[in-house]
């Protein structure tokens, strides 16, 4: 492991919560595609499968920030365990309904409650921020590591879920996703030493973290970015089917995630100076421009190359986004703030998937790559219009002064810049 990564794991407890977070994050890439595979295997109804997948995405998008907001107030252990139990019971109900041929409406009810699954990525990032608060270089590396973990999940999760459901039995993919979730959450919440302290009083004041103008811009941009991801997934599957190699779609999409994984690993080794909002804007623009070659890919090998290149801009942009969230959101609402970006992605994925499916049916897969191109253009427009909000020094974040007094942190105020150009957390 390169030395910057080895350095961040020198802090006690970091290895354990990172592994637990990885296991608990696997369902993020397994559950949705697992439900689609399960329903299509059992009923042959792809419309129902897609509707249930969209229900799961929208439910997680609505419930996720609320769960994270409760975590900021009451702590990870007190909130994550009950929320996870609800999600697991709902998943069990869904599998039983599928097994015994229950009416369709029961599938939607249970799928909606599966959306109680907590955002483990936000939970582990909050722990890194708690450990390395005020240390920009270490946080940069830690967020890069988390981005690598995300991409590893998206490389292997769908392959495992689809493979189990098609080779073993239809419910196997979602079932294993539930097992991963249970192990990850209960192991993570058992680690009290690295858990950020809750802020019951401060967490109630000032409303949602989304009131931050900077977070609003990041979330809106991530809705468009999610539309890029969702449409690329759908169109790539359709393109592979048109080419006569539908099974190769998972491998091509894995190459897309691999590009992001490689870029994230390299990005974490760098010690960048200057304004992170400018790096974020460049990253969003790079993601948008990288979609254009997809329109020209006439076969799967060329498409895989184009997607690998497109993936190179994802992780650096995500890492910079987390740094900006940390700079613009009060420490008492950090977990909620990080979850809102994931919510934006989830909403965008649902919208992008739907739009891409419609265009595929109307004009064919190759033409449908215009959807991620247009989605990228929307992301750039949002980023350009909101850039000044991100570039401004963040106002003193509510609750931060009081927390600093209790923890002995003194010196620069929030929104000021250190010598390395990073905003003070």
pLDDT in tens, 153-172: 877 787 788 778 777 888 88
* Within a domain: 156: yes
The CATH number linked to 310 is: 1.20.1250.20
Pair 74, 167 in one domain? yes
| Residues 247, 310 within the same domain | yes
Q: Report d(CA 269, CA 117) in Å as an integer.
A: 32
Q: Are 203 and 333 in contact (CB under 8 A)?
A: yes
Q: Backbone dihedral region of 364: left (phi > 0), alpha (psi from -120 to 50 degrees) or beta?
A: left
Q: Which pLDDT value is given to residue 94?
A: 92
Give me the pLDDT at residue 205, please. 53
Write out the residue range of the structural domain in which residue 262 sits. Answer: 207-407
Please report the DSSP string for 163-219 in residue order: HHHHHT-TTHHHHHHHHHHHHHHHHHHT--TTSPPP-TTGGGTTS-GGGSHHHHHHH
pLDDT at 209: 67
- Has residue 73 been placed in a domain? yes
**Is 81 contained in some domain?**
yes
| Residues 56 and 113 grouped into a single domain | yes
Instruction: Out of 197, 222, 247, pick the residue that ends a domain.
Output: 197
CA distances from 132 to 120, 301, 326 (A): 18, 42, 12
Parts of the chain with a pLDDT under 50:
1, 203, 393-425
- Asked if 225 and 169 sit in the same domain, the reply is no
pLDDT value for 202: 52
The answer on 182 and 66 residing in a single domain is yes
pTM above 0.75, yes or no: no
Last residue in a domain, options 173, 197, 221: 197
Phi and psi angles of residue 18, each rounded to the nearest 5 degrees, phi first:
-70, -40
Max CA pair span of the chain: 64
Out of 148, 177, 197, a domain closes at 197
Residues 230 and 170 in one domain: no
Q: What is the pLDDT of residue 392?
A: 56
Instruction: Give tens-digit pLDDT for 197-254.
Output: 887 765 455 566 667 777 888 889 989 998 888 788 778 877 887 887 766 777 888 8
79 in a structural domain: yes
Q: How many domains, in total, are found in the chain?
A: 2
Q: Is residue 218 part of a domain?
A: yes
- 420 in any annotated domain: no
């Amino acid at each position: 492991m390169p030395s910057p990564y080895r350095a961040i794991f020198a802090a006690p407890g970091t290895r354990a919560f990172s592994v637990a977070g990885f296991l608990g994050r696997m369902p993020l890439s397994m559950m949705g595609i697992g439900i689609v595979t399960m329903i299509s295997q059992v009923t042959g109804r792809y419309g129902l499968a897609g509707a249930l997948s969209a229900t799961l995405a929208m439910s997680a998008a609505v419930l996720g920030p609320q769960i994270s907001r409760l975590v900021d107030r009451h702590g990870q252990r007190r909130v994550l365990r009950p929320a996870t139990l609800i999600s697991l019971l709902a998943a069990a109900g869904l599998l039983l309904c599928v097994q015994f041929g229950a009416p369709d409406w029961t599938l939607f009810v249970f799928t909606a409650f599966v959306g109680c699954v907590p955002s483990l990525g936000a939970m582990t990032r909050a722990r890194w921020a708690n450990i390395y608060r005020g240390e920009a270089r270490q946080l940069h590396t830690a967020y890069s590591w988390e981005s690598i973990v995300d991409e590893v999940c998206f490389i292997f999760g769908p392959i495992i879920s689809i493979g189990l459901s098609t080779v073993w039995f239809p419910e196997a993919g979602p079932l294993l996703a539930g097992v991963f979730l249970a192990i990850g959450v209960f192991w993570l919440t058992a680690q009290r030493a690295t858990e950020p302290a809750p802020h019951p009083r401060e967490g109630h004041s000032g409303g949602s973290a989304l009131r931050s103008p900077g977070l609003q811009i990041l979330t809106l941009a991530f809705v468009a970015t999610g539309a890029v991801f969702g449409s690329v997934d759908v169109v790539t599957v359709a393109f592979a089917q048109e080419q006569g190699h539908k099974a190769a779609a998972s491998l091509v999409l894995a190459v897309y995630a691999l590009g992001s994984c490689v870029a994230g690993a390299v990005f974490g080794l760098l010690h960048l100076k200057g304004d992170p909002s400018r790096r974020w804007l460049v990253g969003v623009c790079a993601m948008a421009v990288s979609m254009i070659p997809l329109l020209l890919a006439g076969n799967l090998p060329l498409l895989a190359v184009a997607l690998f290149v497109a993936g190179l801009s994802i992780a650096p942009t995500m890492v910079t986004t987390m740094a900006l969230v940390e700079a613009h959101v009060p420490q008492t609402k950090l977990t909620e703030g990080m979850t809102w970006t994931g919510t934006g992605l989830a909403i965008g994925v649902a919208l992008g998937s739907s739009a891409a499916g419609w265009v595929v049916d109307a004009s064919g897969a190759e033409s449908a790559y215009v959807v991620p191109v247009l989605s990228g253009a929307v992301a750039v427009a949002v980023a350009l219009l909101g850039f000044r909000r991100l570039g401004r020094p963040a106002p003193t974040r509510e609750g931060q002064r009081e927390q600093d007094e209790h923890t002995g942190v003194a010196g620069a105020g929030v929104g000021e810049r250190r010598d390395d150009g990073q905003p003070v957390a």
